[in-house]
Chain A
């Protein structure tokens, strides 16, 4: 197949991925096909709070998909290399894809950068091509393709990698957006007052009794309960009690 046909096929598949692991697999296949050994499709974020098992992590805010050697991922995260990685720094400074050999032309390489580059090499990530992803209003990211020590990066496929990187990043962005939709569709939040009223409803109290206990008028109590019903989109107050218990908004222990 021509490079263009490969890119078009990848684009169709990347648009349709159902899960982070699907995209991970797709990235591995296309990276190998282009003559790279590894990929890292990432938002530039400190992953320490997430632990180090991040080969295909997608949250509501960012993605981290990679098949870099696990030992290197651990070292990378624990030492917070993300903040000083010359590859990522260069991709924050430039818009189009670049070969790693061009990095000294994009950023000023410090001795710390040179040492990091050497450590990266020893970890088996020797050379590569990076596609920066700048989407205004969103976290900066990049799609990185790397080779190990046995061969040089496939220069003839750099322009193909440029397109693949951009389409891959968009595929990942879609997964992040979907994660956000799923989470936003979940728990209904009640205000403190609504919650207090519903707990007392659950204990069988009337509006008048609830009002006495909380120091509110029965009308105010009724309006809190009504607004709680609206948040759950249910017609009866007993349904609010059940839903709030079921989703954990009101712990069962509150009711005894």
Chain B
């Protein structure tokens, strides 16, 4: 099951969060070659703050990171607003009901045949979380190579501007609409049948 941790709670989960930062370094820097800061084998940036929300899947045996996503409030500092505002034709979408998806990632240790199911759980965790928090739209900066995979989800997705080539990658801003029909419209390819997000109460019990 996915756990929701707020930026404040990450310190109470050192093993899990540390392995998340390590996997982020392995994927975004080692494999995708993004030009972003890292230190001591971990990728942490200025948006990993108390304001961030994390949805994290821990390995049942080792307790280490398997998949995660970081969600940022668009009312405060976030990547589309501060780093890539020029990817939006109009104003950057901001609001209490809009969150930004960043660092959507699977651990490189997830086995090949489990990748798709794990990705689908992660997608479902975002929808469940968004619905529980009253999120109406997600924004995201998307690598264009990932776009056909994202569109195959069946979710309602629209571009916010023309993509651009930045440091060798073609990236673009997208808006993903979220409502009560989002789980139902998820395609077969992205389908995960059961709820995946643990409630806060269950987490408190786990931590105790």
Contacts known (A95-B144, A166-B151); A11 close to B158, Cβ less than 8 A = yes
**B119 cross-chain contacts in A, Cβ below 8 A:** 136
Say whether B163 faces chain A, with CB atoms less than 8 Å apart.
yes
Closest A residue, CB atoms, query B89: A4
Question: Complex: how many Å from CA A167 to CA B146?
Answer: 12
**A-B CB contact pairs (8 Å), 23 listed:** A4-B160, A7-B159, A11-B159, A95-B144, A95-B145, A96-B143, A96-B144, A96-B145, A96-B169, A134-B149, A135-B149, A135-B189, A136-B116, A136-B119, A137-B116, A137-B189, A160-B162, A162-B144, A163-B162, A163-B163, A163-B172, A166-B147, A173-B152
A132 located at the interface, meaning its Cβ lies under 8 Å from any Cβ of chain B in the complex: yes
Residues of B within 8 A of A236 (CB): none
Residues in chain A within 8 A of chain B (CB atoms)? 2-4, 7-8, 11, 94-97, 131-138, 159-160, 162-163, 166-167, 169-170, 173, 177
Question: Which residues of B are in contact with A by a Cβ distance under 8 Å?
Answer: 89, 115-116, 119, 143-149, 151-152, 158-164, 169-170, 172, 187-189
Q: Does the CB pair B145–A4 fall under 8 Å?
A: no
Q: Cα distance A3–B143 when bound, in Å? A: 19
Given contacts A136-B115, A170-B148, 6 further A-B contacts (CB under 8 A): A2-B89, A11-B158, A95-B143, A159-B163, A160-B162, A166-B148
- Min Cβ gap B51→A in Å is 30
A-chain residues with CB within 8 Å of residue B158 when the two chains form the complex: 8, 11
Contact A135 B152 (CB under 8 A): yes
Known A-B contacts A2-B89, A4-B89, A163-B172; the reply to A134 vs B148 at CB < 8 A is yes
Would you give the shortest CB distance from B160 to chain A, in whole angstroms? 8
- Asked whether B148 lies within 8 Å of A96 as measured between CB atoms, the reply is no
Closest 7 CB pairs of A and B: A95-B145, A96-B170, A170-B151, A133-B148, A96-B144, A166-B147, A159-B162
The verdict on A97 contacting B144 (CB below 8 Å), with A3-B162, A7-B159, A162-B163 known, is yes
Which of B115, B151, B164, B172 is the most central at the interface, judged by chain A CB atoms within 10 Å of its CB?
Answer: B151
Interfacial chain B residues near A163, Cβ < 8 Å: 147, 159, 162-163, 172
> Are the C-beta atoms of B159 and A8 separated by less than 8 Å?
yes
B120 to chain A, nearest CB (A): 10
- Smallest beta-carbon distance A30→chain B, Å: 14
Q: Report the bound CA distance from A135 to B89 in whole Å.
A: 27
- Chain A residue nearest to B187 (CB atoms) is A177
Beta-carbon nearest neighbor of A8 in chain B: B158
Q: Which residues of A contact B149 (CB under 8 A)?
A: 134-136
Contact assessment for A170 and B145 in the assembled complex, using a CB-CB cutoff below 8 Å: no
Of all chain B residues, the one with the shortest Cβ separation from A7 is: B159
CB-based nearest A residue for B164: A159
Give the CA-CA distance A47 to B151 in the complex, in Å. Answer: 26
B181 to chain A, nearest CB (A): 15
Residues in B neighbouring A134, C-beta threshold 8 A: 145, 148-149
Distance of A180 from chain B, by nearest CB (Å): 9
> Does A4 lie within 8 Å of B148, measured CB to CB?
no
Q: What separation, in Å, do the CA atoms of A152 and B151 have in the docked complex?
A: 30
